[in-house]
A = this chain, B = another copy of it.
């Protein structure tokens, strides 16, 4: 068993058209492992590999290779191999791939599909990118309600090779409306003569094809489902989402929130070309610049005070910085809890009060520490006191805004993570400078006396 199959060897066999060696070395590997080796090839080499071992053999590892590589390799395939490969691919992977091709090549691929698959693909392509329909597979197992368990098992035996899963099988009526669900586990436990119609669960949860895929993920993770049926507007079964799709969706959802909290475009990839990353990040930084400019304007209103007590210039940044930290802490907890369904709408007030309260407590503690430091540093108890109060108030503001912004966003039906960090830091920056420099200006006489 070759534990380390070098890319160089793969290349050599492909160049030498040594199909036998390729098959022999790749066969014992899991398709995902084989795909990992193939991922190091160029698109041309991957295409040559598909031609060499044949599309049927190459199919599964091919489907596990990175998406971009797949896309580029398709272009280098012969018409015949392309037709074969694309007809063999699982409908959901194929739809993802074709959706991303440029239009002329998309047309070519469509023309190579057999009619039923072409219709199917065209339908899949109409679903919005983040919908359940765009992620579902149309290869699910069907049973008839009049079948006996024995007949159903025979049916699944026949369907197994071509279906994404046979562990859940569905029953539909003549209009293809979803009637029930039987798991293979129930089937093997049931008496062979029992009827599917009696055995099946009729209370089947499903998701609408146009619903957000995150809704499907939420249902599946909540109920620990292995698969979830997808229905159209007329409740007709059109596909299923399986657990492995959900693995990806949960991770993608989290990435999206994480990126949005850091003011990043959710579609950015570490592998993206440098200039694409720059293009995606600059608009966010410019928005950030606007709020930073707001803070600078606040400061500029207090230049008189700063000129008089220049120590304010070094102290003010601490107030803003710590307020921002407290705000980001709250924002992150709240956004994540909303995403995980841990905060319902009726919890809004409780969360808001709690987070503001946390801001008050942490502000008191942290403010006291920095107040004492400032006292030792500048020997001015008034400066220390102002710092303490400003730090506390700004962390209250951070807690309040960190909770308020995402909760209001959700109430408005928007993504709680999107852009919310900008609002929160804008308020703690401007608020922090305003509170601290404002207090210092009001109490300027005390700062000057003992300064």
Contact = CB atoms under 8 A, between A and B. Distances in A.
B333 A270 contact: yes
A370 interface: yes
A281 B358 contact: yes
A56 interface: no
A251 to B, nearest CB: 5
A285 B318 contact: no
Contacts of A226: 167, 226, 243
B274 A358 contact: yes
A247 interface: yes
A264 B362 contact: no
Interface string A29-44: 0101000000000000
Contacts of A297: 314
Given A262-B328, A296-B314, A342 B271 contact: yes
Contacts of A30: 203, 205, 223
B185 A166 contact: yes
Contacts of A156: 188
A370 B331 CA distance: 28
Given A247-B250, A264-B333, A313-B306, A373 B293 contact: yes
Interface size class of A (residues with CB under 8 A): 35 or more
A23 interface: no
B189 A288 contact: no
A262 B365 CA distance: 19
In the complex, which of the residues A263, A299, A307 has the most CB atoms of chain B within 10 Å of its own CB atom? Answer: A299
Interface string A336-378: 1100101100000001001001100110011001100100000
Contacts of A246: 247
Binding site of A, secondary structure by majority: helix, strand, loop or mixed?
helix
Nearest to A260: B332
In the complex, which of the residues A1, A32, A320 has the most CB atoms of chain B within 10 Å of its own CB atom? Answer: A32
Contacts of A254: 250-251, 254-255, 258
A433 B297 CA distance: 18
A51 interface: no
Contacts of A317: 292, 295-296, 299, 317, 320, 429, 433
B274 A354 contact: yes
A321 interface: yes
A97 to B, nearest CB: 17
Nearest to A257: B258
A13 interface: no
A286 B189 contact: no
Contact of A259 (B270, B271, B336): B336
Interface string A235-263: 00000000110111011001101110111
B1 A329 contact: no
A224 interface: yes
B289 A333 contact: no
A160 interface: yes
B343 A270 contact: yes
A288 B243 contact: no
Contact of A188 (B157, B343, B373): B157
A67 interface: no
A184 B167 contact: yes
A322 interface: yes
A370 B289 contact: yes
A366 B243 contact: no
A188 B250 contact: no
Interface string A72-110: 000000000000000000000000000000000000000
Nearest to A355: B277
Contacts of A269: 337, 342
Contacts of A315: 296
Interface of A: 1, 28, 30, 32, 153, 156-157, 160-161, 165-167, 184-185, 188-189, 203, 205, 220-224, 226, 243-244, 246-248, 250-251, 254-255, 257-259, 261-264, 268-271, 274-275, 277-278, 281-282, 284-286, 288-289, 292-293, 295-297, 299-300, 303, 306-307, 310-311, 313-318, 320-322, 325-326, 328-329, 331-334, 336-337, 340, 342-343, 351, 354, 357-358, 361-362, 365-366, 369-370, 373, 425, 429, 433
